[in-house]
Structures are given as C-alpha cells and as structure tokens.
Chains A and B, each alone.
Chain A
Amino acid sequence: MTKMPNYISTTNACKLCKPLGASLAFRGMEGTVPYLHGSQGCATYMRRYIISHFNEPIDIASSSLSEKHAVYGGAANLKLGLTNVTRKYQPQMIGIATTCLTETIGDDVPMIVKEYERETSATNRPLLVHVSTPSYSGTHMEGFHAAVTAAIDQLAQGPAVTNDTVNLLPGFVSSADYRYLAEIMADFGIPATMLPDLSTTLDGPALLEYEKIPGGGTPLASIRRMGGARATIEFGRTLGKTRTGATLLAEKFGAASHRLGLPIGISETDRFFAVLETLSGRPTPAKYQGERGRLVDAYVDGHKYGFGKKAIIYGEEDMVVGLTAFLAEIGVTPILCASGGRSGSMASAIAAATAGVLPEQPKVYEGMDFFDIAEEAENLGPDLLVGHSKGYPLARKLNIPLIRVGFPIHDRVGGQRILHLGYRGAQQLFDLVINSLIEKKQSDSPVGYSYM
C-alpha cells in the first residue's frame, strides 16, 4: 500500500541505493573485492557509510570514471581497474556492480567483461561476476539480492551428482546473525552453503598483518556446487515474484525452494526450524529447545511491560516484516510499518507473518521517507520506534525509546553484533525492547523506583 499524500520530493530517505547492497553481498563471498563501475564518489561514499556501521575496513574499488569516459564509454577504465585490483589484491573474484552513471551512458558490462577475459590470461585472472544495479531503480536490498542471484547465475554449475547440501540465502542480516545461522545448520548436521556470509568479513579480529581481503565469506567452490544442492532456503517474504537465488536454483537445477520469512521471533523461527527438521530428518537439537524454552519463559516474565505499547517499525522490508511478527507476538501493537522499498508485497507479507496474532493489521506503507513517517507519527502517538539509527531524530523529537536494529547503526558501537534471528536473537531483542520500556517508565517517573 502506498501512503497518501504521496509527496514528490524525498526528505531523509528510508532506503539506500542499489550498488551499496551489491557491494555488501560481494563482500560476503570468499576472496572477493567489490567493484563499482562508476565515478569515484559512489565507492567512497558507500565505504564511509558501511564503515560507520561495522567499524571494519571495506575496500570497494571503482572505475573512477571522469568526463571523457562519460562521453566515450567506460570500458577502458573498467579493464584497467580490474587489472589494478588483480595486481594489488590478488582476489579470487571481483564482484562488479554498475551505477546509475554507467547504466545511463549505456556501458555493456557483460560484453566488456567478456572482452577483458579474451584479452587477458586466465592464469592470474580472478573470477568476474557482474550485476546490473542502477541506483534509480530499487533499493540497496534489491541490489543485495541481485548480487547474490548474479553470483549463483554465473558461478553455480549443474549437478554432476546431487549432493547432500542445503543452500541458505539469508539476505542482508548482521554478522552475528550469519554466525548463528551457520551454528544452527551445523547443529542440525546439515551441510550448508550460506550465501553470502558476512560473519567474519565484516566482523573480524584485531590483526598483526593487514588482510587485503579478510578471510571468510562463502567459499567460491561451494557457490559453484550450489546447483547440486537438494534444497534452498531463502529468507524474504517480500521477495514476491522477483527472480532470486532460490527461484533460479529451482529453475535451472530443480533444487526444492523454501521461501520463509526472516526468522525473527518465535513463530517465524518455528517455521524455519520446522523446515530444518524436515530437511535433516532430526528433531530440533536440545540446545535450541532450551533456547526456545527460556525465551517463552522470558516472554511470560516481561509480558506486562510490553502489552499494548504502540510501535512504529521501519527499515528494509523483510526486516520490518520479521520485527513486526516478533513485536506482535509479545503483545506490542504495531501501528505503522514503513519502508522506503516498494516491493508491493509488504502488507500481505505482514498479514501472513502475523496471522492469528494481530486482531487488527497495522498501517503498512511502502515508499516512505522519514518526513512521511514523522507526519504519521504525529497522529499515531507511538510508544517506541523500532529500526535503524536514522530514526533517532524522530525518537528524540517524540521522546520515546528507539530500539536499534538492522542497518545502519551509526550512533552506537556493535551494529554488526546485534543478533536478530532465531530464538537467541529474539531473546536479545525481547530484553532490549522490554528494558527500554521499563527504563522509559522509570526515568519518566517522579519516584526513584529501584524495583520495577
């Protein structure tokens, strides 16, 4: 559903641009340098934006196009850039994403890449994966998914023999989330290929020697074998009919596709674990049953603090859907779900994820910016905001808590360590939400209660 009135201008956008998402996805592939075919500014701006969240180095190369290239085409600079990146980084792969500049001047990147491959020796040349990410269509999430899909499309090979692995395409979640997902798959005994994997590439240890490309990321050999996997799990209720990694793997190689919501909160996580039980033929390991049990116990202990509190949830569409499902099940009332994205399916996704829990569906608006959200908030009177850092000015104005989740977290440390997914993630989110509400009550109270 699109909001009314629909302003022409955008103020304080609730979305980022497509190549940023692609750069992040490529960063989660082994030995890969993200590369933007465009002018120098794009890469630098995105690096700064990403660094402020992760506090980690992220090198994104650029064709550094100048005026003459805009007129005569950027092919020569793209090739020079690929050679220079190869020389300095010795990457296993370069993930090339386009920008609005190169899309508009009409550079045919697939053709230029083919030419480059013909002109250079294969011995020292990294794999080259390319994706079209014009910033004037879609958001960073579309860019992220497009890069994942491109990597699968261009690398995954047919099943010589169907192997026992399961592909897991989580979308863009935190480094802590990727780490936890890997742990879950291992505990179920399911050999998995998780694409991408930002668990160490954007949350690494202090080092003695600077790693040009940080270790970790989805092994390229595993991406190649994805065509032989028996199933693909893909998170993202709002992905709809777009061609994604999972649909591609199903089409090309017949891998069974399981499209699930981001497993945030008990209900959505139960759905994920049910699929894992089926795929593994095992019951949920005791460790996770324990996590779930403690989580239910915590829900009960804290339920009164949250009940009926009104929340505005904003950010990336699938993150909003998952968070809404979680908040609904702990008794918080979602009153507005907003995203800068325009998948067209956020409302139906929220209805499905909250079925049987919410007596009344919240307002769900796509194509929102923070001006729109603030305008809605005036009338809605929320008790808390749930989303990334960029909602802080609004939370401050309304004097209500902001629950920082998702990306970007630019005003706190540890954005990459926020765990959103699974029972363990829900436990952390629950404590965060309830404690924020208690803290608000406590600090607003004229009595200095030390028991709450």
Chain B
Amino acid sequence: MEEIALAARETQIYRKGEKPFEITCNKDSLAGAVSQRACVFCGSRVVLYPIADALHLVHGPIGCAVYTWDIRGALSSGPELHRLSFSTDLQERDVIFGGEKKLEAALHELIDRHSPKAAFVYSTCIVGIIGDDLEAVCRRVTEQKGIPVIPVQSEGFKGNKRSGYKAACNAMFRLIGTGDTTGISKYSINILGDFNLAGEIWMVREYFRRMGVQVVANITGDGRIDDIRRAHGAALNVVQCSGATMDLANMMEEKYGTPSIRVSYFGIEDMSEALYDVARFFKDPEMLARTSELIKEEVQKIQPELQRYKKALTGKKAAIYVGGSFKAFSLVKAFRLIGMNVVMVGSQTGTKEDYEELAQITDPGTIIVDDSNPLELTSFLKEKEVDVFVGGVKERPIAYKLGVGFCDHNHERKEALAGFAGMLNFAREVYSSVMSPVWKFVPRKEKGNDQAL
C-alpha cells in the first residue's frame, strides 16, 4: 500500500489508541507538501480585517491585496472601510528604488479620501527584502495626518500564520491605552477573537447585555478604533480563538493587569460555559441567576429542532480540519451533541497541548493531524468513510470530489455558527449536506462501491 504521508511528516499524524500520545507540530511547512496553510501576512490580515473604520493598506505587489479583498464574512454595523482592498501595487521600479515614497503618497491619498480613524500598513514578503522603513513612514504620516498609522510586521516568509497573529496583536497593542476609560462599568469585558462572521458577535454581545455585562471593545469583529483605544478600561478579556488574540490578552495583562479567560462560543456546552465563566468571574449572584435563566431559555428554544437533526444524524461520521485547533474542541463536542462521531481532526497551526487535549476527548482510532495537505486528507476521508467534512474553502473540493458532505466553518462563511442559534444553524448545515439526495449518484455510493454502507 502506498504511503499516506511523506516520511518527514509521519510524526505530525497521530492515531489514538495505537501508542501513547506523541505528535510533532509548530514547525515550518515541508517544501512540496502542499500545505493548507497561508502565511504571516494572512495571519495578520485576518485578525485585523474586521476593524471597520480603519484603513488597511497592503504594501506590496498586487496579489497579497487582491486575494484578501472582501475575503471574510465579517460584518460591520457601521462603516465598511474594511471591505475595500487597498494596495500600493508595487512595480519593478519600486522594488529597485524602494517603495517608501509610493507608500507615503498612497497613505496621504487614501487618508484624505476616506478619513479613517487609523491606518494599518501591512508589510509583505518583498517589503521585508527591499527594506522599506515602514516605521519611519508611518511615524511621519501619523504626525502629518493626526491619526494612528501603524505598521504591521507581516512579511509572508517570516514564520507562519501564528507569527502573523502576533504581528496583528503587536499592532493593536499600540492603540490600547490611548483612549479615555471614564464611564466603563465594573462589569465590563473585551471580546477577543470573535470576528463577527455572519453577525456572530452581535448574538454574543446580546447575551452579555442580558447578563448585565458591558462590552468595551470588540476585538476585532465589528471592531472600532476608538473602542480598542479604551480597551484597557475593561475588567476582563474574554478570549476566543486563542491562537489569534491570546498574545494581546497576555500583553494587556502584563501592562494593565487585565485578567483573561479562554472561551468558545461554538456548541451549547462551550457557549454556556463561556457565559457562566464570565458570570462567575464577576462574583455577582444576580448576574449568575440571569445567566442561568438566559441559557435555559436559549437551550429550550433550539432543543426541539436540534433533536430532529440528531435523530437523522446519529451514527454518521465527521472529519474536521480547521485553522486553529481550539475551534476543533468545540466542534468535537458539537458533533457529539447531534449524535455524530468525529473520526479525524486536524489543524494548520495547533500546539502540542491542543492536540493532546484533542486526543483525550476523541474516540479511539481517531486520526489527529497537524499541517495536513490534500492527499493526506483525501486518504483519511476514504479510510474513515466520512459523511461530512468540516473545513474551509480549500478543503471543500476535496470532500466534494469524493462525494463527501461538507460544512464550511471558516472565515468566509455566511452562516452564523456561534451561540445557541448558531448551534442550530450548524446542525442544519450538517443535516442539509449529509441528507441531500445528490449523494446517491456519486460513484462512492453506487452499487458495488458501497460495501461500507
């Protein structure tokens, strides 16, 4: 039988139950392995992208900007500057003579045109090579224009997506502490690591409102510069998608003493736990009672429909491949809630601790994989006879080509999957793919090929 993975990647795959847990991760992608990962720039861009009243200028050749134009389903309740794709579109002469002048002129032009509250300037591979001094340009324009102009050190080759998250956190950290914190309640939080895909942060904020908790800053879904500037006035940082924004929480804790908790808003269990954790933090019995009431009410609302899906989906098999592994925990639990078994779970940038925890909560035989690629994923889908694959756009055709159902749980999606209502949407998404009649035509399910069914 043909090898599934290149030898250099074998230690990045673990099958639960075969031997004690061991996995290699957090390393550079192997050349030629067709990783599903993007780059440092991508990490920074996705984290900062939803800040809707900032100018996001990509300093580099056109590709980096154009492939991230309107890429996220991150909604704004007001300005939509984030949905435009700004670039210095560096040309050969800029590469030879340097791009600083062009960058400065572009910043002036765009700031005059759009009057943003701040500007982020993203560095790309080539800028790291030609050595443009972004700090100097940004400092000058900050002085001239009177708004924060912040360089994001996101040269594509200087690490992986995680380094990009860090660069984004560094950029935001420059803003924090520059705003007025008067009038902030003692029951106040910042929401870190929710990107308001399909309006998710609005659902979560509504829960907090009902609990009596004030949200100071959304970081970054439906984000605003002025809110981020006063984020240090909040009593607590509530961090989801910890890979992306935990660095910021840590920096804030160190400088401003803001404590943080890690949460997830996916699935009933984790969503409830997130709200309880916040209520417990504030040690207010009335808030705890309100929280408990809220959760009861929300869960009751979705239970009947959820049970219908569970009945149909029980025993079906799911595979998960996501960017950060933290989301994977919630997904494993969410699948369990609708009666499904997770047989493969992997991520682009998980840590050893994440994978170990995944190994603990999954069933024996489950494949756990770091920084995988199309050929590996394909062989896992086949081996495990998966019914639905959860991933992003790059994973979708892998599933569909083989006649496997798919649920998009990445940042481009247009369905809200967080919160209690989101759990129902998730179940509905999975149900609508798994139960579709189209599968009966795909070769996998044709007579003679369907021994496993």
Contact = CB atoms under 8 A, between A and B. Distances in A.
B153 to A, nearest CB: 12
A348 interface: no
Contact of A207 (B68, B106, B379, B401): B401
Interface stretch (A45-53, A271-279, A306-314, A324-332): A45-53
A104 B401 contact: no
Contacts of A303: none
Contacts of A57: 374, 397-398, 401
Contacts of A46: 63, 67
Contact of A61 (B34, B37, B39, B382): B34
A48 B70 CA distance: 13
Contact of A55 (B91, B126, B397): B397
A135 B61 contact: yes
Given A40-B160, A78-B31, A104-B129, A56 B401 contact: yes
A27 interface: no
A55 B373 CA distance: 17
A104 B60 CA distance: 12
Interface string B417-443: 000000000000000000000000111
A28 interface: no
A80 interface: yes
A10 B33 contact: no
Given A16-B66, A40-B160, A59 B42 contact: no
Contacts of B41: 41
Nearest to A76: B31
B218 interface: no
A137 interface: yes
B109 interface: yes
Contacts of A11: 84-87, 110
A89 B376 CA distance: 12
B30 interface: yes
Given A56-B397, A101-B157, A66 B66 contact: no
Interface string A136-180: 110100000000000000000000000000000000000000000
Contacts of B156: 39-42, 101
Given A47-B394, A208-B449, A10 B32 contact: no
Contacts of B415: none
A20 interface: yes
Given A9-B106, A81-B32, A17 B401 contact: no
Contact of A104 (B85, B89, B126, B374): B126
Interface in B100-150: 102, 105-106, 109-110, 125-126, 128-130
Listed residue (B6, B392, B401, B441) with the most chain A CB atoms within 10 angstroms of its CB: B401
A10 B88 contact: yes
B394 A44 contact: yes
Contacts of B57: 9
A70 interface: yes
Interface string B159-176: 110000000000000000
Listed residue (B65, B130, B156, B157) with the most chain A CB atoms within 10 angstroms of its CB: B157
Contact of B443 (A9, A66, A208): A208
Nearest to B4: A88
Contacts of B160: 40
Interface in B335-377: 373-375
Interface string A50-88: 011011111111111111011000000110111111011
Contacts of A12: 69, 84-85
Given A38-B125, A40-B37, A206 B394 contact: no
Nearest to B129: A104
Interface in B1-31: 6, 8, 28-31
B86 A51 contact: no
B221 interface: no
A24 interface: no
Contacts of B284: none
A105 interface: yes
A67 B156 CA distance: 9
A61 B396 CA distance: 18
Contact of A67 (B32, B158, B375): B158
B61 A17 contact: yes
A12 B89 CA distance: 11
B110 to A, nearest CB: 5
B253 interface: no
B312 interface: no
Contacts of B262: none
Listed residue (A42, A54, A136) with the most chain B CB atoms within 10 angstroms of its CB: A136
A100 B125 contact: yes
Listed residue (A17, A56, A100) with the most chain B CB atoms within 10 angstroms of its CB: A100
Given A49-B67, A67-B157, A70-B157, A104 B130 contact: yes
A134 B62 CA distance: 11
B32 A61 contact: yes
A40 B125 contact: no
A177 B280 CA distance: 62
Listed residue (A41, A51, A67, A77) with the most chain B CB atoms within 10 angstroms of its CB: A41
A136 B401 contact: no
Contact of A210 (B88, B102, B378): B378
B279 to A, nearest CB: 39
Given A15-B66, A62-B32, A70 B109 contact: no
A238 to B, nearest CB: 19
Nearest to A139: B62
Nearest to A137: B92
Contacts of A212: 375
Contacts of B66: 13, 15-17
A59 B33 CA distance: 10
A208 B444 contact: yes
Contacts of A204: 401
A99 B29 CA distance: 18
Contact of B102 (A8, A58, A60, A340): A8
B394 A51 contact: yes
B393 A52 contact: yes
Contacts of A85: 32, 34
Given A61-B34, A206-B401, A41 B40 contact: yes
Given A44-B39, A45-B38, A212-B375, A13 B32 contact: no
Given A57-B398, A104-B126, A41 B91 contact: no
Given A66-B157, A70-B157, A390-B69, A16 B62 contact: yes
A195 interface: no
Given A45-B67, A46-B67, A80-B32, A65 B397 contact: no
Contacts of A217: none
Given A64-B31, A100-B95, 16 more contacts: A9-B87, A10-B87, A11-B85, A11-B110, A13-B85, A13-B87, A16-B63, A17-B62, A39-B157, A41-B41, A62-B34, A77-B31, A81-B32, A84-B30, A100-B90, A340-B62
The 10 closest A-B pairs by CB, nearest first: A41-B39, A17-B63, A84-B32, A81-B32, A81-B31, A208-B443, A9-B106, A135-B61, A39-B157, A45-B67
15 contacts: A10-B62, A41-B64, A41-B156, A44-B39, A45-B38, A45-B39, A45-B67, A63-B32, A70-B125, A78-B31, A84-B30, A88-B33, A135-B63, A136-B92, A210-B379
Interface of B: 6, 8, 28-42, 57, 60-70, 84-92, 94-95, 102, 105-106, 109-110, 125-126, 128-130, 156-160, 373-375, 378-379, 382, 392-394, 396-398, 400-403, 441-444, 446, 449
